[in-house]
Structure 1
């Protein structure tokens, strides 16, 4: 094994940047000498090896920028050396030229499959060799620039990923508890973003012991923009500060009271549609429940029809759509009224459930949701919602993941709640 160095800073050579270290491999001492003289004259740092085994040992010590290797050598030939060189080079790419007398297309294909970048026919022409080395230098320069760019992208991705994970933690804080008892009623929540963050939101509040409010919201789109919108809406409907909740007012005694759901939808629509910088809109199902009578007043603003589950297992959907919130100013919303009796349940949900794609094509739809709910009737509260979500995930296409955010709010009324 031989190592001969040449200071390229004094050579004025084309090897001044990406391609400096060159390994020449040939079992012929004469060929080694000829090629080494040419390469050193052009300013390259030159290493020599007389066999593939010797060359690999040298590469383990110093990875060359380029390799000129004879194809036909005793023991390990140039083809096998090329394969092993590629296997050990990892992220450090070296330009590999095979020196050969072979010119058949099939042989050239074998060389390319082994990892060779270029070929030179022996005896080597100096001008052609220099041109191939210049080409190799350009390729290495692009490869290293791409590597630097990839490293920068990875750093940017890591930073974004950290921010998104923190954003997910913040969004999860918008639903601080999954279940709460309000006298004879229990409300349970489910929120499953399809990415780090999502555009779905569910919530509940009950500052007045005579009733409660429950909402299910789905912001258009996905990702960060939608998540920012959910955070904004959560501030309008938060439970921690009743005076800032647009669904609440104060009566003459100062006690918090619930505004009619249709008024809440109107107030929220006016706020969002008046902002010219907001392009997103949202669908919403929002209800108030009178805990003394079981009377539910609900508004449906473009949200999927809520599912009523009676104590005897009978089910039906209520509502006929309505306009989403934030699209058009001055829209009015009509209330829907039903009464829950002992053991009845009411499920609000996002279209991430009913629009789940099935293996045979098509979507789950309302009928499929009713079938899933029927399979979960023995469960209550969060157990019902978790069972529903698990069964939904089993209905998707094999190996796929849910492509939309999934959320739900379950209201259970009466002594069996």
Structure 2
């Protein structure tokens, strides 16, 4: 679309092209002479039919047309003019001796922009033309701005589509951080729940073998959402990886000839020091990290700002353990306390993110630890994977079917003894 710019001052150098449509040759000459004197470019037509044909070939900016003419009337011409394909807006002034309000309303409904009562006063005509120029100038500015907005939105959409494709690929890569959703061991089994709220998430759950006797479990929730949190989870996945044992921050490399590990409170301390002294970003995370002796069922656990872990006893009773603790990456030199407890045959340990207990209903009410404990009691006879799937359905029902506002994750470990 070609956008015209009109000068609005008395010394205008770019004024519109005006078509004068008038049966009376004398009146037409008078009007044309006035317009030329005021600096307008002028064309003339003696009938509406002739004027319509001229409008098909030329985009006139302003039409000054008599209402009452032989053949097609000025109002009919206005309606036909509005139906023509145009690059810009055409301002239409009807000249009439009609003064009834109903007739004026009919003219406005037919597409006219303004009216002049005949005989036309030159000063009034000039003022109406200037008003038309101002309106057309504003229209041209709006068209230009709309084109700019449309172009910008198109560019933003292209950027968004590119980011969306990248985030989809990033989500696929992030899902590979948790290679197995269910694993069986000689004396236990572990199942994973991981539901990001967006393309990528800030939650991480997993496990690794310390040695033939001991297993480590972890549940991590990086503060925030989006790419930055996802990148941090990728970094932490490398630091808690069983595949790259030399990079694993929890492992010491020796334990009486077997692979060894730092105690859970030292793992939290080492991660905190790494976050503040080496990584040095404005991020922090919460974590539950547990070390399990697969022979005895003894558990050593640290809770660093993460929701309280739940123990589901073989008989169906649910116990909440832990005392809170400081998130990791906030305070230099922070310390954590180790929690010890015993798992019996058939007992389960559930490490969960705050996306579970803080999941809000449509009114904002949180799901809460009491509701979680009640659910775990009712679901105690379910298998591990079935229990986690049922929990997702329970949270979705609590949300009223809406999407989860935060990542939902958890690690469920069953000790078979």
TM-score class normalised by the smaller sequence: 0.7 to 0.9
Q: Deviations over 1:111-167 (max 9, x none)?
A: 79x9x8x93334774333333322222221111111111112112212222222222
> 1:63-102 maps to which residues of 2 (within 5 A)?
78=79, 95=89
Aligned 8 A contact 1:68 1:96 in 2: yes
Secondary structure at the aligned position of 2:211 is classed as coil
Partner of 1:9: none
Partner of 1:173: 176
Counterpart among 229, 233, 244 of residue 236 in structure 2: 233
Aligned 8 A contact 1:343 1:413 in 2: yes
Deviation at 1:178, TM superposition (A): 0.6
C-alpha separation in 2, matches of 1:288 and 1:323: 19
Aligned CA distance change for structure 1 residues 23 and 302 (closer, same or farther; 3 Å): farther
Secondary structure at the aligned position of 1:312 is classed as coil
Partner of 1:6: none
Per the normalisation by structure 1, the TM-score is: 0.75
C-alpha separation in 1, matches of 2:213 and 2:22: 95
RMSD of aligned residue pairs (Cα, Å): 4.4
> 1:169-208 maps to which residues of 2 (within 5 A)?
169-206=172-209, 208=211
Aligned CA distance change for structure 1 residues 99 and 295 (closer, same or farther; 3 Å): farther
Q: Deviations over 1:83-117 (max 9, x none)?
A: x99xx99xxx964756568998xx99x979x9x8x
Secondary structure at the aligned position of 1:186 is classed as strand
Partner of 1:5: none
Deviation at 1:187, TM superposition (A): 0.7
Partner of 1:262: 265
C-alpha separation in 1, matches of 2:334 and 2:60: 69
Partner of 2:413: 411
Q: Provide the aligned length of Structure 1 versus Structure 2.
A: 376
Deviation at 1:197, TM superposition (A): 1.1
1:120 aligns with 2:122: no
1:292 aligns with 2:295: yes
Secondary structure at the aligned position of 2:252 is classed as strand
Partner of 1:391: 394
Aligned CA distance change for structure 1 residues 99 and 368 (closer, same or farther; 3 Å): farther
Q: Deviations over 1:345-395 (max 9, x none)?
A: 111101111111124542111001112223433322222111101111110
Aligned 8 A contact 1:354 1:364 in 2: yes
Question: Could you say which structure has the larger radius of gyration?
Answer: 2
Aligned 8 A contact 1:14 1:134 in 2: no
Aligned CA distance change for structure 1 residues 330 and 158 (closer, same or farther; 3 Å): same
> 1:267-278 maps to which residues of 2 (within 5 A)?
267-275=270-278, 277-278=280-281
Secondary structure at the aligned position of 1:249 is classed as coil
C-alpha separation in 2, matches of 1:211 and 1:251: 13
Deviation at 1:73, TM superposition (A): 7.7
Aligned CA distance change for structure 1 residues 127 and 249 (closer, same or farther; 3 Å): same
1:163 aligns with 2:166: yes
1:304 aligns with 2:307: yes
Partner of 1:340: 343
Aligned CA distance change for structure 1 residues 325 and 122 (closer, same or farther; 3 Å): same
Partner of 2:122: none
Deviation at 1:254, TM superposition (A): 5.5
> 1:312-327 maps to which residues of 2 (within 5 A)?
312-327=315-330
Partner of 2:153: 150
1:353 aligns with 2:347: no
C-alpha separation in 1, matches of 2:255 and 2:332: 31
Deviation at 1:344, TM superposition (A): 0.8
Secondary structure at the aligned position of 1:274 is classed as helix
C-alpha separation in 1, matches of 2:228 and 2:294: 36
Partner of 1:211: 214
Deviation at 1:77, TM superposition (A): 8.3
For structure 1, list consecutive stretches of 5 or more residues without a partner in the other structure. 1-11
C-alpha separation in 1, matches of 2:60 and 2:375: 62
Aligned CA distance change for structure 1 residues 94 and 366 (closer, same or farther; 3 Å): farther
Per the normalisation by structure 2, the TM-score is: 0.75
Name the stretch that deviates more: 155-164 or 66-75.
66-75
Secondary structure at the aligned position of 2:260 is classed as strand
